[in-house]
């Protein structure tokens, strides 16, 4: 009794005991449950996913090729003799007519016998004109005239050939787009001198594989980008046989170039659209799941992920056209599908 009385009579001790009892009760009440696993959290709250509402969009499939542009007609004139360039009458960018002399070589080159050919032609021409008058007047026989005419035509062709060796003419009408020589420069025989191009219309040559040629037809539109501007042309020629060197079919596409924006020699990408559906349901190919030869995607219905079978149509580079299985308004899961199973609860982020 004495101990009890003494213990109770000490207020400080009583305070400490009361505090100890309170802390013991509080710690017992605040004891936390063990932390939940990620699987338990996903089961209760749902797997976080991102969705996209399905709607109609334009779907296209195109074939792409690398092409080099050139004028609808281009021709390069070459040297027929080895000599120094005597004169250049036109420069790059000038328009020329077919037959105009563009580059001149000296007439003194001994290998062409320019003077001899000229004199021979002039003499043959005089004799021819004289014999024509005589035969018309009945003063010589037709046989004599025919022999002189033959000599005249031979001399004329020889003279024209010699002239063309020293006076290099434009092979076609158009614009000079390349000049490979300078005045005074020595040029070997057979070397290119200049190129003339008709630039009002351009052509692009592409090579198409066996699997692609069936998609193309004459008049089919094709596009290319140059200078941040899109140009549309049409297929003008389709190869009917595989080229033995490229192992592909040659196809030519023509582009109108009245404004001169397209340039000869540029290399760019050319696309031919082979399929188009302006009201298509489109799904990125990476969202397609496959099983037993069938295709599936995940959609959200209520708060569940549902694996829906879809029928695939045409495939572009990164997308599939969906022919059936999805409808506008469906919520397609585009992120988080790697953690899903059919019927799993989901939470849309």
* CATH code of the domain containing 230: 2.40.30.170
pLDDT at 204: 97
Question: Would 315 be classed as within a structural domain?
Answer: yes
Whether residue 60 is predicted with pLDDT greater than 90 in this model: the reply is yes
Q: Which of 137, 168, 194 is the last residue of a domain?
A: 194
Mean pLDDT of the chain: 90
CB-based burial of residue 2 (10 Å sphere; 0-12 exposed, 13-18 middle, 19+ buried)? exposed
The whole domain housing 242 covers: 64-69+200-277
More confident site: 44 or 293: 293
pLDDT (tens digit per residue) in 109-151 = 999 999 999 999 999 999 999 999 999 999 999 999 999 999 9
The per-residue pLDDT for 349 is 85
Instruction: Kindly state whether residues 85 and 182 are assigned to the same domain.
Output: yes
* CB proximity list for 338: less than 8 A, separation 6 or greater: none
The answer to whether residue 23 sits within a structural domain is: no
Do 296 and 255 have their domain in common?
no
DSSP string over 333-344:
EEESGGG--TT-
By the 8 A CB rule, do 141 and 186 touch? no
Query: Alpha helices of the chain — where are they, by DSSP H?
Result: 2-8, 11-29, 38-45, 114-137, 142-166, 210-213
E runs forming strands in the chain: 47-53, 57-78, 83-84, 87-88, 95-96, 101-104, 167-169, 174-179, 186-187, 192-208, 221-226, 229-242, 249-256, 267-284, 289-291, 294-301, 304-315, 319-324, 331-335, 346-348
The tens digit of pLDDT for each residue in 253-277 reads 999 999 999 999 999 999 999 999 9
Q: Do 294 and 267 share a domain, yes or no?
A: no
Shared domain check, 320 and 214: no
- Residue 231 inside a domain? The answer is yes
Mention every residue, 6+ apart, whose C-beta is less than 8 A from residue 10.
none
Regarding whether 227 and 141 lie in a shared domain, the answer is no
When pLDDT is cut at 50, 70 and 90, the band that residue 7 belongs to is very low
List pLDDT tens digits, range 86-100. Answer: 999 999 999 999 999
Residue 29, domain member (yes or no): no
- How much is the pLDDT for 187? 96
Q: How far apart (Å, rounded) are the C-alpha atoms in residues 137 and 132?
A: 9
Phi, psi of 321 (to 5 degrees): -80, 130
Checking if the pLDDT of 31 tops 80, the result is no
Residue 137 sits in a domain of what CATH number?
A: 2.40.50.100
- 20 domain residue, yes or no: no
Q: Is this structure's pTM higher than 0.75?
A: no
In a domain, 25, yes or no: no
Domain count, the chain: 3
Residue with tokens 């559906």: 277
Residues 122 and 186 in one domain: yes
> Is residue 6 included in any domain, yes or no?
no
CATH of the domain at 320: 2.40.420.20
Domain check: are 114 and 208 in the same one?
no
Does residue 229 fall inside a structural domain?
A: yes
* pLDDT tens digits along 286-337: 999 999 999 999 999 999 999 999 999 999 889 999 999 999 999 999 999 8
The whole-number pLDDT of residue 337 equals: 86
Q: What's the pLDDT score for residue 3?
A: 44
The pLDDT, as a whole number, for residue 46 is 86
């Amino acid at each position: 009794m004495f101990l009890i009385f003494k213990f109770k009579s000490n207020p400080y001790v009583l305070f400490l005991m009361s505090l100890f009892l309170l802390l013991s009760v509080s710690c017992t009440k605040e004891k936390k449950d063990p932390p939940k696993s990620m699987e338990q959290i996903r089961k209760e709250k749902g797997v976080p996913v991102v969705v996209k509402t399905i709607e109609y969009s334009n779907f296209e499939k195109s074939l792409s090729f690398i092409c080099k542009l050139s004028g609808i007609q281009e021709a390069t004139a070459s040297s027929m003799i080895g000599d120094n360039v005597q004169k250049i009458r036109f420069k790059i960018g000038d328009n020329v007519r077919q037959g105009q002399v563009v580059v001149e070589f000296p007439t003194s080159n001994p290998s062409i016998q320019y003077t001899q050919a000229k004199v021979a032609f002039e003499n043959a021409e005089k004799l021819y004109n004289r014999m024509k008058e005589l035969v018309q007047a009945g003063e010589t026989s037709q046989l004599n005239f025919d022999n002189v005419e033959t000599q005249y035509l031979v001399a004329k062709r020889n003279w024209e050939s010699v002239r063309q060796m020293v006076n290099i003419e434009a092979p076609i009408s158009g614009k000079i787009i390349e000049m490979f020589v300078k005045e005074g420069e020595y040029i070997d025989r057979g070397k290119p001198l200049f190129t003339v191009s008709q630039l009002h219309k351009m052509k692009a040559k592409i090579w198409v594989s066996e699997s692609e040629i069936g998609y193309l037809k004459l008049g089919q539109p094709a596009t290319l980008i140059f200078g941040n501007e899109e140009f549309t042309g049409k297929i003008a020629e389709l190869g009917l046989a595989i080229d033995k060197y490229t192992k592909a079919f040659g196809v030519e596409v023509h582009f109108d170039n009245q404004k001169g924006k397209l340039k000869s020699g540029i290399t760019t990408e050319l696309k031919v659209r082979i399929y188009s559906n302006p009201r298509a349901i489109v799904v990125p190919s990476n969202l397609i799941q496959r099983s037993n030869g069938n295709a599936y995607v995940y959609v959200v219905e209520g708060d569940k992920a549902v694996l829906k079978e879809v029928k695939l149509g045409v495939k572009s580079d990164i997308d599939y056209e969906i022919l059936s299985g999805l409808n506008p308004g469906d919520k397609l899961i585009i992120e988080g599908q790697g953690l899903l199973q059919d019927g799993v609860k989901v939470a849309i982020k």
